Structure 1
Amino acid sequence: MSVETELTQTRITVDKPAWSAVFAMAFGVFGLITAEFLPVSLLTPVAASLHVSEGQAGQTVTVTALVALLTSLVIGNVTRRLDRRVVMLAFTLLLIASALLVAFAENLPMILLARVLLGMAIGGFWTLSTAITMRLVPADQVPRALSIVFSGISLATIIAAPLGSYLGGLIGWRNIFLLTGVLGGLALFWQFFTLPAMPPENHARSGGVLDLLRQRVMRWGMLAVILMFTGHFAFFTYLRPFLETRAQLDVNQLSLVLLAFGVANFFGTSLAAWLVTRSVSLTLTGMALLMSVTALLLVSFGHVPWLVATGVALWGLAFGSMPTGWSTWLSRAVPDDAEAGGGLLVATIQLAITAGAAAGGWVFDLHGAGGVFLASSGLMLLAAITIFSRVRQHG
């Protein structure tokens, strides 16, 4: 049976969509991802202020990702008896606490502790987000709702790093994190008044996150996720060196190309809401193929600036559909255990991020950015084949 047409009767029926709650979730995503990205743009002033190296300060990003990975594996079971509304509000409180702790931190260990709290919030939010969105809108509107929630990622990608870097030079990095705390406060206020009570559901058919891998379709799905996200993060991590060396873009051109990536990523998220209602597997397959071809074109025509800009934008557009596409697939593959599925998806993506950065660095040292792009192209092609031939088949 096709995963795209499979629905189970265990899912709670929603008659009236709670769009205000969906947008509140999206705003929460924006706050979380903004907080996650800020150290990247503020690394130098943070390191100088705390009298540590930039490499040491960079561990604020590492610890967040690691804690998010661990949290995604256990949060469903730890909070299984709690109202999901209370749990989501708690994640937003962790965001606020993290931002304030960073703002007033006197040393690096205190900042690392604060980033542990943020990692818990990010890992927990992503794990439960698909399942909660499924309880806010009718089944036929879930793809649209997911695209709205995940648009917060794209907006944070566009705004957080450049704005954080600019404002950090004007008002200082500590005040930037204070503003992030204010952002979290607004998200908490919005969520408090819009999220409905969502008692825990105890009818899950699996025994937990890892137990889902007993299902063949989930094993193939997670393999495809690893291939796609490893390929993307290898590509994206070494995009700037490619643009500076092969395309020979100056700082202004580089900024415009990266902005084009972010804007296209936002539109890709919006486009996915329309595409996945027609075919989830074909959407994911098509986007993987587009990314594979785009990487090849960049390697072949990297000396042509306008083609490079177009290629980077196309990559951003295609990747923008991935969170919505995979979350929609998950909501249909395991609709009666979406929380455990969400934990497995988050853990798999975090693993892929680590693999992409590590493997990309190894390939970059051997063959440069062009070699990384070729490897990414190959991974995307394998992902497309896997999705088309295996993931859309249930069992």
Structure 2
Amino acid sequence: MDSKTTDANWAAVFALAFGLFGLITTELLPIGLIPAMASDLGVSDGAAGQAITATALIAAIAGPLLVLGSGRLDRRKIVWMLGLFFLASALLSTLATNLPLLLAARALLGVSLGGAWAMVIALAMRLVPPSKVPRAIAVIFTGVSIANVIAAPLGAWLSDLLSWRTTFAISVSLALVALISQLATMPRLSTMAPPSLASFRSVLAKPAVLIGLATTFLVICGNTAAIAFLRTFLESGLQINAQTVPLVLLTFGLAGFFGNLVGGALSSRSPALAAGGGALAIACATTALASQGQAPAAIFAAMAIWGLGFGAFPVAISSWNAQAAPDQAESAGAILSMGFQVAIAGGGVLGGILIERLGMSAPLQSAGIVAIIGAAVMLLIGRPDERRRTASQAS
């Protein structure tokens, strides 16, 4: 919120939320498109899956660099620049005729995504009065939840009905609407104290931030390794027909939406328990799926549990991060964004290696193992730390 006004700018908050919705949707679209992209581009599923890795790897670098390099520049102009990158990336993805060009387009998406993730919470905190900040953050994460619901099943359905290029063409429309809305609503947002390397060091010196980063890397790396090649596993491993796959993915997405709501509610009481619980749900579901041979009802149930856990985790870990460094929101947001994207990139690479060397169930098995470790870090180390910080604040 501009320091000269006490009015909430909800139009700008919704514009930011829609932009992040479009970015997350576009980031996750390849989950339902990998077999079709691989066939059309003449590469393996593992190679096509690096379309996810490219986005995440660049996003991990772009987020912190953008925050550090932005100095006192009006944040409104940065938002507009990221919107232009999003639009260019969507156009290039639609027109890509080979894997290197597709990866370049996805890398450009990573610049936009990394910058948006790094700054969106800090921006929302300036667009509304302090009393409205929780609601503004909820609006933004609702957009993320909807993206998690529709991206994979929409991509799979449109890919089967039309083509993977048509699916990416929808992202062009999302990017255009997001850019227009942000041009129309974003106020001038200058900064008086630009982030610096010193502020990053200060954030990283906080034990709670490190606990959150370790948990994030473990859980998200394993989750990405599994989900990036989920369609391949469902069709070739569990022998689910192509018409049923979108329904399985929709089950995951819908459960993720409700997981977001549950995670938000639990995080208001204990982000540690919410994050740890989400990680345990992911571990249980991926381990069950990896056993193969389940009845359809068991597959749908496992996907629902997985979706609940995956939906709850990002909200919970973001709440954890906000409480760990409440006075350094922009720097803390950039660091958490980097952690997420490094984990996603690592998971994409790990999943590609595992599926080609150890078989289709290996990414799911690895997801179960590392998610359990992540849950242990948060519940056995993070939860006691949370209790100490709460007691210290109360006194």
Shorter-chain TM range is 0.7 to 0.9
Letter in 1 for 2:358: D
CA shift, 1:301, in A, is 9.8
Q: 1:365 aligns with which of 345, 350, 358?
A: 358
Letter in 2 for 1:388: R
Structure-to-structure mapping, 1:1-395, within 5 angstroms: 15-43=6-34, 57-105=48-96, 108-168=99-159, 172-202=163-193, 207-237=198-228, 239=230, 249-294=240-285, 303-357=294-348, 362=354, 365=358, 368-369=361-362, 371-372=365-366, 374-376=368-370, 378-383=372-377, 384-391=379-386, 393-394=388-389
CA distance, structure 2, for counterparts of residue 229 and residue 43 of structure 1 = 19
CA distance, structure 2, for counterparts of residue 355 and residue 371 of structure 1 = 16
CA distance, structure 1, for counterparts of residue 286 and residue 47 of structure 2 = 32
CA distance, structure 1, for counterparts of residue 231 and residue 168 of structure 2 = 26
What is the SS of the residue equivalent to 1:135? Answer: helix
CA distance, structure 2, for counterparts of residue 48 and residue 245 of structure 1 = 15
Letter in 1 for 2:120: S
CA distance, structure 2, for counterparts of residue 100 and residue 296 of structure 1 = 38
CA distance, structure 2, for counterparts of residue 14 and residue 393 of structure 1 = 37
Alignment RMSD (CA, Å):
3.6
- Consecutive unaligned residues of structure 2, counting only runs of 5 or more, are none
CA shift, 1:288, in A, is 3.2
CA shift, 1:337, in A, is 1.7
1:281–1:392 contact (8 Å) kept in structure 2: no
CA distance, structure 2, for counterparts of residue 231 and residue 81 of structure 1 = 37
Q: Deviations over 1:243-270 (max 9, x none)?
A: 5688665444443232111001012223
Aligned to 1:8: none
CA shift, 1:117, in A, is 1.9
When structure 1 is superposed on structure 2, of 182-191 and 60-69 the one drifting more is: 60-69
CA distance, structure 1, for counterparts of residue 285 and residue 131 of structure 2 = 32
Q: Deviations over 1:169-216 (max 9, x none)?
A: 666554544432222111112222222322124075871435522222
Residues 334 and 203 of structure 1: is their aligned pair in 2 closer, same or farther, counting only changes over 3 Å? farther
CA shift, 1:291, in A, is 3.9
Q: Deviations over 1:82-103 (max 9, x none)?
A: 1112211211111111222333
Aligned to 1:6: none
Residues 176 and 316 of structure 1: is their aligned pair in 2 closer, same or farther, counting only changes over 3 Å? closer
CA distance, structure 1, for counterparts of residue 283 and residue 347 of structure 2 = 15
Residues 292 and 178 of structure 1: is their aligned pair in 2 closer, same or farther, counting only changes over 3 Å? closer
2:32–2:152 contact (8 Å) kept in structure 1: yes
Residues 116 and 368 of structure 1: is their aligned pair in 2 closer, same or farther, counting only changes over 3 Å? closer
Count of residues in correspondence between the two structures: 385
2:34–2:45 contact (8 Å) kept in structure 1: yes
CA shift, 1:124, in A, is 0.5
1:102–1:177 contact (8 Å) kept in structure 2: yes
Letter in 1 for 2:302: G
Letter in 2 for 1:18: N
CA distance, structure 2, for counterparts of residue 254 and residue 330 of structure 1 = 35
CA distance, structure 1, for counterparts of residue 95 and residue 166 of structure 2 = 9
CA shift, 1:113, in A, is 3.3
CA distance, structure 1, for counterparts of residue 166 and residue 292 of structure 2 = 43
CA distance, structure 2, for counterparts of residue 380 and residue 97 of structure 1 = 36
2:80–2:183 contact (8 Å) kept in structure 1: yes
CA distance, structure 2, for counterparts of residue 108 and residue 75 of structure 1 = 27
When structure 1 is superposed on structure 2, of 329-338 and 357-366 the one drifting more is: 357-366
- Consecutive unaligned residues of structure 1, counting only runs of 5 or more, are 1-10
TM-score, normalization: structure 1? 0.81
1:204–1:336 contact (8 Å) kept in structure 2: no
CA distance, structure 2, for counterparts of residue 311 and residue 213 of structure 1 = 36
Residues 145 and 50 of structure 1: is their aligned pair in 2 closer, same or farther, counting only changes over 3 Å? same
1:284–1:387 contact (8 Å) kept in structure 2: no
CA distance, structure 1, for counterparts of residue 227 and residue 350 of structure 2 = 13
Q: Deviations over 1:56-77 (max 9, x none)?
A: 5544333222211111231111
When structure 1 is superposed on structure 2, of 210-219 and 51-60 the one drifting more is: 51-60
Letter in 2 for 1:81: R
2:284–2:368 contact (8 Å) kept in structure 1: no
